[in-house]
Amino acid sequence: MAIKMLPKWLGIVSFLALLYGCAAPAAPQNTLVLRNGLLIDGAGAEPLPNAVVVIQGERITAVGASDAIEIPPGARVIDLQGAVILPGFINAHVHYAYDKKNLQAWAYGGVTTVRDEGIISSSANDLKKYLAQRDANNQNPKYARVAAAGYMITVPGGYGSLFVNSPEEARQQTLAELDAGVDLIKISLEDGYAGTTGLPKLSDEEIGAIITAAHERGKRVSGHITQARYLQILAAAGVDDIAHIAYDPVAAEAWATMVSKNIYLVPTFTVLRNYGAPIANCTANLENFLAQGGQAALGSDYGGGPGDFELGIPMYEIEQMSAAGMSPMQIILASTRNAAIVSGIEQETGTLVAGKLADILVVAQNPLDDLQNLRAIQMVIHGGTIIRSELLQP
């Protein structure tokens, strides 16, 4: 949809300025315009050639075709010469998102937002300290923005850091995390992996109490599983996304439950690979979920286990999504809009529309032709600030 940049009254002001011999009003301070780019908006629209994006301060104020957008006089204009404009990517499953080096590497690599899926710790005593770090880092555009899940909730001896002993305590701890300012709640239903089994797990009543408390506050719940039987339980209980794809075959009814409840899947092939899980099973699971109309979001579980993880765009995840039959456009939506939805920040970022934060990735060639083109980054804009550019003279 084309949006006219200048309100009518501004035209009248210009006319009056001319009449009285003054200079025409300059664009407001900090107006940045990207022109002559191929726009992929992250909302699923057809790519728009020769697009213009107008940014004022930290937000996008107009996006559209060049003949529909007026470039404000005095704006700083960057000619992209046909390069491709995308929303900044979002990795919806990471850890160690309180480390400034990680945050800087993500943002520089085109990942302008990350969802921290749990502070890795043996205790759960420092939530306020971590959330204060999140708030401070989120003020700085050179760092990836963080949506934080606080501590992963489980039972004593279970997989996670925040322990609850009853449905009442599950509710109270959930509310305490929300009061402290987490962006979402994370729970686990994990029997054990990498040699361990038989871990104690949350009861159905505890899971229900957590989900009810979070939803009362309008916050989402992300549920960790690695096995099909626990995916089925958390899907039936109504979490908002499943963190990790199961490594064993998932029943068709479980996928149907997820689709009917609009539960997203964040596969995290990278960590499953690192633990030696059978990736072909994981890919087949994703294929079956997609076949029923399921929606995926990008996430690698950075730091969630041994081995290598990519800082920047997690290309291994993208390659495995592609292997499961997702189209390049579906993968871009999973990495932008859908990842913003599971992070609970889709009102602020994830698509390139007027009013949202200017979190923008520019690549030289079209990723719809070849997803490897995502590696050729030309520019990253985060919250309206250019934090990386191969296009501008120093």
Burial label for 66, CB within 10 Å (0-12, 13-18, 19+), is middle
Tokens representing residue 78 in the block: 């960057």
Decide whether 304 or 383 has the Cβ nearer to Zn ion.
Answer: 304
C-beta nearest to Zn ion: residue: 304
How is 140-185 classified by DSSP, letter by letter?
A: -TTSPEEEE--SPEE-TTSSSSEE-SSHHHHHHHHHHHHHHT-SEE
CA distance 227 to 244: 9
Interface of this chain with Zn ion, residues 317 to 356, rule: CB under 5 A:
none
CA 223, distance to chain mean position in Å, is: 16
> Per-residue contact track with Zn ion, 103 to 132, x per CB under 5 A?
--------------x---------------
CB of 323 to Zn ion, least distance (A): 22
CB of 151 to Zn ion, least distance (A): 12
- Shortest CA distance to 247 belongs to which of 266, 227, 269? 227
CB of 114 to Zn ion, least distance (A): 12
Any contact of residue 301 with Zn ion (CB under 5 A)?
yes
Amino acid at 203: S
- Shortest CA distance to 143 belongs to which of 184, 118, 111? 111
CA distance 186 to 158: 14
Decide whether 141 or 304 has the Cβ nearer to Zn ion.
Answer: 304
**Site size with Zn ion, rule: CB under 5 A:** 3
With contacts defined by CB under 5 A, name the span among 105-113, 160-168, 227-235, 302-310 that binds Zn ion.
Answer: 302-310
CB of 118 to Zn ion, least distance (A): 6
Decide whether 230 or 332 has the Cβ nearer to Zn ion.
Answer: 230
Query: Which residues fall within 8 angstroms of residue 170, CB to CB, at 6 or more apart?
Result: 153, 164, 202, 206, 207, 209, 210, 213
CB of 188 to Zn ion, least distance (A): 9
- Shortest CA distance to 35 belongs to which of 67, 3, 81? 81
CB of 185 to Zn ion, least distance (A): 14
Helix (H) or strand (E) holding 232: helix 228-237
- When binding is defined by CB under 5 A, the residue of 109, 304, 350, 384 that contacts Zn ion is 304
Decide whether 80 or 245 has the Cβ nearer to Zn ion.
Answer: 245
Decide whether 117 or 206 has the Cβ nearer to Zn ion.
Answer: 117
CB of 256 to Zn ion, least distance (A): 26
With contacts defined by CB under 5 A, name the span among 246-254, 303-311, 367-375, 380-388 that binds Zn ion.
Answer: 303-311
CB of 43 to Zn ion, least distance (A): 28
Any contact of residue 299 with Zn ion (CB under 5 A)?
no
Task: Produce one character per residue of 114-144: b if its CB has 16 or more CB atoms within 10 Å, e if not.
Answer: bbbbbbeeeebeebeebbebbeebbebbbbb
Decide whether 117 or 241 has the Cβ nearer to Zn ion.
Answer: 117
Any contact of residue 310 with Zn ion (CB under 5 A)?
no
Decide whether 226 or 351 has the Cβ nearer to Zn ion.
Answer: 226
Decide whether 186 or 382 has the Cβ nearer to Zn ion.
Answer: 186
Decide whether 223 or 384 has the Cβ nearer to Zn ion.
Answer: 223
Three-state SS at 39: strand
With contacts defined by CB under 5 A, name the span among 32-40, 170-178, 298-306, 384-392 that binds Zn ion.
Answer: 298-306
CB of 242 to Zn ion, least distance (A): 12
CA distance 257 to 109: 36
Decide whether 122 or 139 has the Cβ nearer to Zn ion.
Answer: 122
CA distance 52 to 42: 15
Interface of this chain with Zn ion, residues 236 to 275, rule: CB under 5 A:
none
Neighbours of 21 (CB within 10 A): 6
CB of 335 to Zn ion, least distance (A): 18
Three-state SS at 186: strand
Interface of this chain with Zn ion, residues 67 to 106, rule: CB under 5 A:
none
Please check whether residue 67 is in contact with residue 350, taking contact to mean a CB–CB distance below 8 angstroms: no
- Residues near Zn ion (CB under 5 A) are 117, 301, 304
